[in-house]
Amino acid sequence: MPDATAIRWPDHYHPARCPIHVSNELAIAAPIETVWAWLLRAPLWPSWYPNAANVRFLEGAPPDLALGTRFRWRTFGVTIESTVREFVPCERIAWNAHALGLDVYHAWLLTRTPEGCHVLTEETQHGLVARAGALLMPGRMHRYHQLWLEGLRDNARRGLPPAA
């Protein structure tokens, strides 16, 4: 039986097969349902995560991500197209991302705790753009993912996201 507390990596994106792998985690003192609601509301990311811009749904019903949702957005200075590949409510979500020279898998795992929840986010990358970014700006993805987690925490502590 797979470990329920681990990321379920597709073979191509497994950290052992990728030159880039980043992992961040944070305990959040807020209900897991509230944290989940903020994470799914992708069009709001640019309002609280400085590394997200121009989130647009291509397939799926906005404003919340769901299994199969395709969306285009800008992050780390690159416009990418993502598709939600894994979706278990209040537990896990993962999407891939593609752009010229970039092939990414970004997974989130939420675990209920007595204080609220623990959030783990991991990303793996293939491609020339990924390698260049890691070489020229080491640690940047880790720093920005930490900001994403902290923004998620700060918003969840204030309550649910606004209605769409």
71 inside domain: yes
In a domain? residue 4: no
Number of folded domains that form the chain: 1
Tell me, yes or no, whether 5 lies in a domain: no
- 7: in domain: no
Q: Does residue 109 form part of some domain?
A: yes
pLDDT in tens, the chain (164 residues): 346 669 999 999 999 999 899 999 999 999 999 999 999 999 999 999 999 999 999 999 999 999 999 999 999 889 999 999 999 999 999 999 999 989 999 999 999 999 999 999 999 999 887 777 777 777 889 999 999 999 999 999 999 999 87
- Domain region containing 84: 16-157
DSSP tag of 15: G
Closest to 118 in 3D by CA, of 22, 2, 13, 32: 32
Q: What is the spatial order of strands in the sheet that 70-75 belongs to?
A: 20-28, 116-126, 102-113, 92-99, 78-88, 70-75, 53-59
Residue 110 lies in a domain: yes
**Residue 101 falls inside a structural domain:** yes
Residue at 1 is within a domain? no
